[in-house]
Amino acid sequence: MNIHEYQSKMILKGFGLPVPRGDVAASPPAARTVAERLAAEGVPAFVVKAQIHAGGRGKAGGIRRADTLDAVETIARQLLGHRLVTPQTGPEGKLVRRVLVEEAVSIAAEYYVAVLIDRSLQKPIVIASPAGGMDIEEVAAQRPEAIFREVLWDLDRLHPYQARRLGLRMGLQGPLLAEFGRIVQGLVEAFWRCDAMLVEINPLVRLTDDRWLLLDAKVVLDDNALYRHPDLAALRDVGEEDPLEVEATQARLSYIRLDGDIGCMVNGAGLAMATMDMIQWAGGRPANFLDVGGGASPEQVAQAFRILMADPRVKAVLINIFGGILRCDRLATGIVTAAREVGVRVPMVIRLEGTNVEEGRRILAESGLNFTVAYDMEEAARKVVELAGRQRS
């Protein structure tokens, strides 16, 4: 689960990490009020930051400096209610509903620090780079020697010697080195205690007075662990998420939108992956990953069907079900119910195998629905790719 920068900073502050003074606002007057409060604490200048679930805001005009209270309000008015397009949002951009108003600080140097999972090592790692404030993928491509790693061998902690080694590689010494180490260890603790998948600080800055601040923060939480953190689960902002994905989550379906045009409904994650591979192999591109699960009810199947049909990009649908716990007759009933309700606007290929398959095929055949039957995966993939191609032309 993604959360906003202001929420990430709030969490990290709770772990004793230094973040800029500031607060979030949903309207221009509220933004001004935040700035007034900061001014009363002696803050002379401000930064107004668009809060969307995407980075790259700085270059896109979503991070703006304001030297007066009027400027804060004006900039907030320019950002709020408008869409911000960054390299990470796609061309349609994301609607800005909130801004973070914080103190403008004077930066001496920007660094990059992240804690994340290294899937090949099956361990969390810390990545740090003195090339902060830039797109880290770009740094990795152009100056891989400027990126340093430490592995969390004990999972939940970075040893002091590792933190020190990272700091030395950043070119730090003395008190700056010690404080950098404490910050990195604090980030690791936050990562572990929140069941995060990513804690990324870009940039972590050294100020001209030698203090450290987390100037930007991105925390990604593990959905599968949210049940342990009701306080963190409450940070979910469904307004930022794909509406079809939200609907799928509510129906307890695993659904991820992809960028192709062949809708898939499959039971079991392994079969779903294999089905997507087969579509790709046959020359098509899947519009989604959708696993209705081993024990799906006819209602869940119907809901899955509605979600597929609600995606305007879908040109053809492949339903590939191995009936085990989810028997083929129950599946067929779910499909027929949903198809009658929402209609079938694109060609559909169905491949059923397993428990009660004859009964399932009979229900589909007698439904009067228009669909193509396939008997194995290769045939199913070829047929759906061909049908999607015809729809496109």
Task: Spot the catalytic one: 73, 112, 189, 255.
Answer: 112
Per the annotation, the verdict on 112 as an active-site residue is: yes
Which residue in 10, 69, 85, 104 binds ligand ADP (CB under 6 A)? 104
What DSSP character marks residue 122?
Answer: T
Task: Spot the catalytic one: 110, 189, 200, 255.
Answer: 200
* Number of residues binding to Mg ion, judged by CB under 5 A: 2
130 binds ligand ADP (CB under 6 A): no
Residue for token pair 């009701």? 230
For ligand ADP, the closer of residues 143 and 390 by Cβ is 143
Residues 211-230: x/- map of binding to Mg ion (CB under 5 A)?
Answer: -----x--------------
DSSP assignments along 128-147, one per residue: EES-TTS-HHHHHHH-GGG-
> Which contacts qualify for 196-201: CB closer than 8 Å, 24 or more apart?
196/115, 196/220, 196/221, 196/222, 197/116, 197/117, 197/221, 197/222, 198/114, 198/115, 198/116, 199/8, 199/12, 199/114, 199/115, 199/116, 200/113, 200/114, 200/115, 200/116, 201/112, 201/113, 201/114
Contact predicate 263/287, CB 8 Å: yes
105 binds ligand ADP (CB under 6 A): yes
4 binds ligand ADP (CB under 6 A): no
Give the type of residue at 150.
E
Tokens for 287, please give them. 């519009």
Which residue in 57, 98, 206, 382 binds ligand ADP (CB under 6 A)? 57
Stretch that binds ligand ADP, among 98-106, 143-151, 224-232, 283-291 (CB under 6 A): 98-106
79 binds ligand ADP (CB under 6 A): no
How far, in whole angstroms, is CA 315 from its chain's centroid? 26
84 binds ligand ADP (CB under 6 A): no
> Which contacts qualify for 121-125: CB closer than 8 Å, 24 or more apart?
121/151, 123/151, 123/152, 123/153, 123/155, 124/151, 124/152, 124/155, 124/188, 124/191, 124/192, 125/149, 125/150, 125/151, 125/152
For ligand ADP, the closer of residues 58 and 324 by Cβ is 58
Nearest residue to Mg ion on Cβ basis: 216
Which residue in 1, 30, 35, 47 binds ligand ADP (CB under 6 A)? 47
202 binds Mg ion (CB under 5 A): yes
Per the annotation, the verdict on 200 as an active-site residue is: yes
Q: Which does 172 bind (CB under 5 to 8 A by kind): Mg ion, ligand ADP, none?
A: none
203 binds ligand ADP (CB under 6 A): yes
Query: Please, which of residues 182-201 interact with ligand ADP by CB under 6 A?
Result: none
Q: What is the rounded distance in angstroms from the CA atom of residue 285 to the CA atom of residue 142? A: 31
Instruction: Give catalytic residue positions.
Output: 112, 200
Binding footprint of Mg ion on the chain (CB under 5 A): 202, 216
Binding footprint of ligand ADP on the chain (CB under 6 A): 20, 47, 49, 55-58, 63, 102, 104-105, 107, 110, 133, 202-203, 215-216
